[in-house]
Amino acid sequence: MQSNNYFSFIGRTTRDPEVRTLESGAKCAYISLAVDQPPRRDDNGNVVVDEKGFPVRHADFPRVVAWGNLVDVIEKHLKKGRLISVSGQVRTRRVEKQDGTADFYTDFRVGDFQFLDKPAKSDNGSKEPSGASEEPASAPASSGAPSKDEF
């Protein structure tokens, strides 16, 4: 049986992206998302509601990482609160510590993303980010991923 090493999230950014430049010159962008889960259901399959009658919902907060050309688009256009769709591969990496032990980290590496909303208007009435040209609806994947030691 073949397995798929793939993720796909739709959510809102919880903060501005964190862009890093590594020693090799490669850039990466970390994006924190709030991804809603479906409404909770009781044992009979009915949607659970709160005291005001709204469905009880919860969210997950995955952190995804983008590399290469995607970082330029993200750095220029992505801000806190934007609704985006991201997809890509799940990768596990091993990091050797100085004491000889190893830590393992699982990364959600973005291969594709799309903006699903319009940028918010700033106080002066222009689109954010100020000075930015027309925003792309999606960005293609690139091969700018670093080696396992460049985190």
Q: What is the pLDDT of residue 88?
A: 95
Classify residue 79 by burial, with Cβ atoms within 10 Å: 0-12, 13-18, 19+: middle
Taking the C-alpha atoms of residue 93 and residue 117, their distance in angstroms, rounded to an integer, is 33
Task: Give the residue ranges of DSSP H helices in 4-81.
Answer: 69-77
Percent of the chain at pLDDT above 70? 78
| Whether residue 96 has pLDDT greater than 90 | yes
| Whether residue 65 has pLDDT greater than 50 | yes
| Whether residue 139 has pLDDT greater than 60 | no
Q: What is the pLDDT of residue 4?
A: 81
- 11-30 per-position pLDDT tens digit: 999 999 999 999 999 999 99
Q: What is the pLDDT of residue 120?
A: 77
Residue 96 phi/psi, 5° resolution? Answer: -80, 130
The helix (run of H) or strand (run of E) holding residue 35 is strand 27-36
- 99-123 per-position pLDDT tens digit: 999 999 999 999 999 999 988 776 4
Taking the C-alpha atoms of residue 86 and residue 7, their distance in angstroms, rounded to an integer, is 8
- 48-62 per-position pLDDT tens digit: 998 998 888 889 999
Nearest in space to 113 (alpha carbons), one of 38, 37, 31: 31
Residue 144 phi/psi, 5° resolution? Answer: -90, 20
Q: Tell me which of 1 and 78 has the higher pLDDT.
A: 78
Nearest in space to 63 (alpha carbons), one of 4, 115, 14: 14
Instruction: Tell me the domains of the chain and their CATH numbers.
Output: 1-38+54-107 (2.40.50.140)
The answer to pTM > 0.85 is no
| Whether residue 72 has pLDDT greater than 80 | yes
Instruction: Please state, as a whole number, how many other Cβ atoms lie within 10 Å of the Cβ of residue 44.
Output: 5
